[in-house]
Structure 1
Amino acid sequence: MIRSFSLAAASAALILATGQPAGAVDDELIKAQAGTWLLAPESGAKGCHLTFETSPAAGGYAINGADACAAALPAFVKAAAWNFGEDGSLALTDATQKVVARFQQEEEGSPWEIEEGDPMWLLPALGDVDHVPTIASVAGTWQIQQPDGKAICSVTLSSDTDPDGTPKMSPGSDCPADIGNLKLSLWVMEGFGLVMMGTDGSSLSFDMRPDGTFQKSEEEEGQPMVLVRKQGG
């Protein structure tokens, strides 16, 4: 659903156990993590952007843009470097190599989650978006459309949950068979990803776009689709 990089399948030789930049053998690993990231509370509160560089810094690789965290997340202003740990975690450290925060990733494609403190995510930046969507902010009536804007059908994403705490949803009566047959009844948010789930194990995944709409994930088969909030929904 979202671009990310998992260390679960990486060999021990590729993990930067010493806390210092390694040689060319690690280039792909480092390049995969480099780029601009959004650091934001899971609550949907405002976060800030950090840029992971591939240039060496004390304790790992340089971080740029931490000054932008002063208002929203002041504890991260001192973040000066990033690096991987032996256990597959991702650490942000200050200029003295003291750990500012450490993150773990449950599985490939999922956001990095902070190990301690208030729940927080680290995920690839999506344009200028400075917060992660929440169940409350996404709940409502949406329209599934073709890329050209032609309506396919409507779906209602509810903030009410089942006994396990998963939000409920219901497809509209106008949904075609290929969507109706999925028996969609629940939905979840994971970072910038939205997954609709059926009672028989089927699912339909969408990725958020900078304008707040969603597009069907590239991993999904079939025709491309977008998800647009209905007026008043």
Structure 2
Amino acid sequence: MIRFVFRLAATAAALLACGLAYGQDIDPDILKAQAGTYLVAPEDGRTGCRMTLETDMAIGGYSISGQDACAKPLPALAEASSWNFDGNGGLILIDPTRKVIARFVENEGSPMKTEDGKLFLLSAAPDGVDHLPTVNSLAGPWTMQRPDGERLCGVTLGSNVGTDGNAPLSLSGDCAANVAKLKLAVWHIEGFGLTLMGGDGSSLSFDMRADGNFDKSKQEGGKPLSLVRR
């Protein structure tokens, strides 16, 4: 069995923690919160596959589509015919005989990742993306700029990851004052999110686009900002 770490939507996690048991009717709002298309891909950047968790009833739970795309990259998942909540804050994938072939375990605050064997992540992904970005694939020079092309700073991402999971970065000497004052020194990637961090707790978070560049996360607020590969 492949076991995955999976972060549930907040509403689903809260209600499941109250004791929803496998096989019971699930509130439609929980289904809607969890349903959607996800990329399951190896952590090392190799090709993965997409599948869509749907809300229609199926044998053992709720329907899945797109799993045939897993036949080559992740064949163990191609047999999935339905999904369900397991009653313990997690999700399961089920084959036509009702056998559980994958278990996604909630682990708040951690990446959505397999617990045993080869490491895989499961994440909502930009359209057209079939693999996860890695430290090595992102290392190198980038430009921090506004959507209109106004350059704010040059950023070079290093590839030597420390024991804390962060890698070093360096800034060009001509950064705009509002960027320079953040004293950004390290970076970290989790799924499709990239965070630049300073020693005093300052940070900037970005989300990957389909073209491989990054836009500042909406949660950050403020003016739009992008990281574009040079």
What TM-score, normalized by structure 1, do the two folds share? 0.88
Q: Is the 8 A contact 2:13 2:89 kept in 1?
A: no
Alignment of 1:142-161 (within 5 A): 142-161=142-161
Deviations along 1:15-70, whole A, 9 cap, x unmatched? Answer: 641235x15xx111111111111011111110001011100112221111111111
Deviation at 1:142, TM superposition (A): 0.3
Structure 1 match to 2:4: none
The residue type paired with residue 75 of structure 1 is A
Taking the aligned partners of 1:227 and 1:60, their CA distance within structure 2 comes to: 41
Structure 1 match to 2:93: 92
The residue type paired with residue 17 of structure 1 is A
Identity of aligned residues (%): 52
Rate the CA distance shift 1:33–1:206 in 2: closer, same or farther, 3 A: same
Q: Is the 8 A contact 1:215 1:224 kept in 2?
A: yes
Deviation at 1:116, TM superposition (A): 2.9
Taking the aligned partners of 1:154 and 1:87, their CA distance within structure 2 comes to: 46
Q: Is the 8 A contact 1:66 1:77 kept in 2?
A: yes
2:105 aligned with 1:104, yes or no?
yes
Deviations along 1:81-122, whole A, 9 cap, x unmatched? Answer: 1122222112111112211111234336x6532233311111
Taking the aligned partners of 2:16 and 2:208, their CA distance within structure 1 comes to: 34
Q: What secondary structure does 1:113 align onto?
A: coil
Deviation at 1:161, TM superposition (A): 3.0
Deviation at 1:164, TM superposition (A): 3.3
The residue type paired with residue 44 of structure 1 is G
Q: Is the 8 A contact 2:125 2:192 kept in 1?
A: no
Structure 1 match to 2:225: 225
What TM-score, normalized by structure 2, do the two folds share? 0.89
Q: Is the 8 A contact 1:14 1:29 kept in 2?
A: no
Q: What secondary structure does 1:30 align onto?
A: helix
Structure 1 match to 2:34: 33
**57-66 or 112-121, which deviates more:** 112-121
2:135 aligned with 1:132, yes or no?
no
Q: What secondary structure does 1:49 align onto?
A: strand
Structure 2 match to 1:205: 205
Deviation at 1:165, TM superposition (A): 4.3
Structure 1 match to 2:186: 186
2:120 aligned with 1:116, yes or no?
no
Question: Where in structure 2 are there 5+ consecutive unaligned residues?
Answer: 1-6
Q: What secondary structure does 1:132 align onto?
A: coil
The residue type paired with residue 43 of structure 2 is E
Taking the aligned partners of 2:100 and 2:86, their CA distance within structure 1 comes to: 11
Q: What secondary structure does 1:178 align onto?
A: helix
